[in-house]
Amino acid sequence: MTLVVTVNGVRHERAVEPRLLLSDFLRHELGLTGTHVGCEHGVCGACTVLLDGEAVRSCLVFAVQVEGRQVDTVEGLADGSRGDLHPLQAAFREAHGLQCGFCTPGILMTLVPFLRDHPDPDEHEIREALSGNLCRCTGYQNIVAAVRLACGAPPPRA
């Protein structure tokens, strides 16, 4: 069937199978491979994207379900090809909030709406917000530090 969807502000019209996952549609049909797939059962959060501004797991959504809606992926956060970074991305770099970087796009897309709704979260709130995203590398400590930095807290030191 035909799917019309706006991804990162660009309208796409594609023929898709009803069973195609949104994660596979984004990665393999549109080539937006910044969205990663870690478990395909909705636990790890690596595939998180924004659907009409809210964080969803793209491995738990069929592509056909986003008909007429707006999807945003990590590629849309900033124009990375020009070296620009979204303030949250810059904070992650500053605070060493990523190691292998595989879970990072999903974590960024989880945090963008969280910070929109909670502009000045405390550490507990940040950890709660992150608790649906798995990271095996960092121990989360520097991710928390990065979020605080993005909210204007002083740069972290261990």
Partner 1 sequence: MAPPHRAPSGIGARVRRNEDARLLTGRALFVDDVRLDGLLHVAFLRSQHAHARLTSVDATAARARPGVVAVYTAADLGDYWRPGPLLVPPPPIAGLVFNPCTQVPLAKDKLRHVGEPIAMVVAESRYLAEDALDDIVVEADPLPAVVDLEAALAPGAPRVHDQLPSNLAAHVIQRKGDWARAKARAHAVIKRRFRYDRGASAAIENRAVAAQWDPRAEELTVWDTTQAPIPIRNGLAQLLGLLESQVRVVAPFVGGGFGPKIMMFYPEEVLVPWAAMQLGRSVKWTEDRQENFFATTQERGQIHDAELAVTEDGKILGVKDVFLHDTGAYDPYGLTVPINSQCTLLGQYDIPNYESEFTAVFTNKTIVTPVRGAGRQHGVFVIERLLDFAARQLGIDRAEIRRKNLLRPDQFPFNNEILFQDSAPLTYDSGAYEPALDEALKVIDYRRFVQEEQPRLRAAGRHVGIGVVCYVEGTGIGPYEGARVTVEPSGRVRLATGVGTQGQGHFTVFAQIVAEVLGVDVTDVHVITGDTREFHWGTGTFASRGAVVAGSACHAAAVAVREKVLELASRELGAAAADLVLEGGRVHVRGDPKGGIALGALALKANPLRGAVRPGSEPGLEATAYFGPDRGSTASGVHAMLVEVDPETAQVEIKRYVVVHDCGRVINPMIVEGQIQGGVAHGIGNAFYEQLMYDDEGQLLNASFMDYLLPTATDVPNVEVTHRETPSPLNPVGTKGVGEAGAIPTGALFAQAVEDALAEPGLEICEIPLSPNRLFELMRATHPPSPHRGAGDGG
Query: Which residues make up the interface to partner 1 (CB under 8 A)?
Result: 17, 19-20, 24, 27-28, 31-41, 43-44, 46, 73-75, 77-78, 80-81, 83, 85, 89, 92-94, 96, 98-105, 108, 126-128, 130-144, 158
Please give the Cα distance from 79 to 2 (Å, whole number). Answer: 29
Tokens of 4: 């019309």
CB of 23 to partner 1, least distance (A): 11
Q: Which residues contact 108 (CB under 8 A, 6 or more apart)?
A: 74, 77, 86, 88, 89, 92
Q: How many CA atoms lie within 13 A of 151 on its CB side?
A: 21
Residue whose CB is less far from partner 1, 10 or 68: 10
Residue whose CB is less far from partner 1, 68 or 124: 124
Residue whose CB is less far from partner 1, 6 or 102: 102
Q: Which residues contact 141 (CB under 8 A, 6 or more apart)?
A: 158
CB of 34 to partner 1, least distance (A): 2
* Helix (H), strand (E) at residue 15: strand 10-15
CB of 68 to partner 1, least distance (A): 24
The residue to which tokens 């007429």 are assigned: 68
CB of 143 to partner 1, least distance (A): 7
Residue whose CB is less far from partner 1, 4 or 131: 131
